[in-house]
Amino acid sequence: MSYLTIARDARAEIEVSRSRFLCALVRVEDELSARSVVEQARKEHWDARHHCSAFVLGPERALERAHDDGEPPGTGGAPMLDVLRGREVSDVVAVVTRWFGGTLLGTGGLGRAYGDAVRAAFETAALVRRVEQELCDVTVDLAAAGRLEHELRARGTKVLRIDYTDMATLELAVPLIAVPVAEEIVAELTGGAAGLFRRGRRWVDAPVS
């Protein structure tokens, strides 16, 4: 399993009819963290009139929230959430702080402005892919270790370390989708004498291909 998120936090500001829209994109792990980002924006920019927000959480982007913070319903959080959906990212909260410039923008103008602020922030944000890996150990004869390491690396498995005693123990991080392939390689190169011992899972950042 994998999903996209931002590599680091990003900000951008746009101006529409003298109203300023400052967007902060922040990477978060859970809903509490996302709400804390919104509260921090309120404290940092206490002189602003609105702090609209939207966030998407979870590997399957299952949790979504949007808030208009006093703007007409559907003109703040909803268009911001649409941008997050369109970028197919998760574990990201967007907060757009608005300083009113004296000119009413109308519902259509507001929706475009809030969405454009988030799009502007994405222009400065690099994306990464979060990949779930299975952490495994495999112990083999010393003679088999070099070839096994080469074959596993060639198929996308990360060899974290190798401990040498009278045997060689390889500590591996295997993308979930590649676990069956890794098992086949180990079985083939050891004549079925060795197998993967699974120790748990982790999420890591990988470049977006």
Instruction: Find the mean pLDDT for residues 186-205.
Output: 91
CA quadruple 40, 45, 50, 53: dihedral, nearest 10: -30
Dist CA 122 CA 92 (whole Å) = 11
pLDDT at 141 over 80: yes
> Is residue 209 pLDDT above 80, yes or no?
no
Q: How far apart are CA 39 and CA 36, in angstroms?
A: 5
For the chain, the structural domain boundaries read 2-125, 131-206
Q: What is the percent of the chain where pLDDT is above 70?
A: 100
2-125: in CATH 3.30.230.30? yes
Overall average pLDDT of the 35-57 stretch: 96
Round the average pLDDT of the chain to a whole number and report it: 93
pTM higher than 0.85 for the full model? no
Residue 185's pLDDT is: 92
pLDDT score of 10 more than 90: yes
**pLDDT at residue 207 greater than cutoff 90:** no
Q: pLDDT class for 177, splitting at 50, 70, 90?
A: confident
Q: Which CATH number fits domain 131-206: 3.10.105.10, 3.30.70.240, 1.10.510.10, 3.40.50.2300?
A: 3.30.70.240
**Is residue 71 very low, low, confident or very high in pLDDT (cuts 50, 70, 90)?**
very high
